[in-house]
């Protein structure tokens, strides 16, 4: 829709070049953007791809910084939802008889995997719902980072390869995205089998 507002391709290219130059000079701005902006309805993949483009000269550093930023985002959004967020809701419900149920210990991992691997849940919604439900943080963080980090690293490397026109980083990035998709499919199948097995056991 840019052309309808009078913005042409040359202007968009110039704007991107200025943005790229600024982020290259101020890497902390991009790092903290990845830490904080995914807590809003902003596509995390766009930020990770931008990081791959901007930090393309040091792809390993780009991947590590993005994983660290994602870990920080996963952490602070969890605690915001688990502490003040849930506390406000509990105070609101305190006048009635309804109480927020605690998850059974055996359902913690299942909930994390369902939220992380089911299509349709935005990243920020996943973080807040999981924080609100309070699975153990030291289970939540590594499992969440594994589920999100494989595809996230693939997106970063795809940005590196496309920005520099190098085949190897792009192929590596695409391969990681495929691996993440296959992993997601396998785990969802495993969860479905466990659910079906549980239903059969109850019917017996």
Report DSSP letters for 45-61, one per residue: HHHHHHHHHHTTTSHHH
Q: What span, in angstroms and rounded, lies between the C-alpha atoms of 53 and 141?
A: 27
- pLDDT at residue 11 is higher than 60: yes
Name the more confident of 103 and 5: 103
Q: Are 49 and 156 in contact (CB under 8 A)?
A: yes
Q: What span, in angstroms and rounded, lies between the C-alpha atoms of 173 and 156?
A: 7
Q: Strand, coil or helix: what is 6?
A: coil
pTM of the model: 0.86
C-alpha to C-alpha distances, 23 to 31, 34, 47, nearest whole angstrom: 9, 12, 12
Q: Are 163 and 52 in contact (CB under 8 A)?
A: yes
pLDDT digits over 139-197, tens only?
A: 999 999 999 999 999 999 999 999 888 889 999 999 999 999 998 888 888 877 776 75
């Amino acid at each position: 829709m840019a052309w309808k507002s009078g913005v042409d391709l040359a202007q968009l290219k110039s704007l991107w070049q200025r943005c790229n130059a600024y982020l290259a000079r101020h890497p902390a701005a991009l790092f903290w953007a990845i830490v904080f902006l995914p807590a809003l309805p902003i596509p995390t993949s766009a930020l990770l791809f931008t990081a791959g483009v901007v930090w393309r000269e040091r792809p390993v550093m780009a991947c590590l910084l993005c994983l660290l930023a994602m870990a920080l985002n996963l952490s602070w959004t969890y605690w915001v939802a688990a502490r003040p967020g849930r506390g406000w809701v509990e105070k609101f419900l305190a006048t009635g008889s309804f109480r927020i149920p605690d998850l059974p210990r055996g359902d913690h991992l299942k909930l994390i995997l369902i939220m992380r691997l089911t299509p349709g849940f935005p990243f920020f919604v996943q973080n807040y719902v999981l924080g609100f439900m309070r699975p153990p943080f030291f289970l939540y963080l590594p499992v969440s980072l594994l589920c999100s980090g494989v595809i996230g690293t693939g997106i970063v490397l795809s940005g590196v390869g496309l920005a520099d026109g190098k085949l190897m980083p792009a192929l590596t990035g695409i391969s990681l995205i495929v691996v993440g998709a296959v992993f997601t499919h396998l785990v969802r199948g495993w969860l479905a089998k466990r659910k079906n097995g549980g239903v059969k056991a109850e019917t017996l």
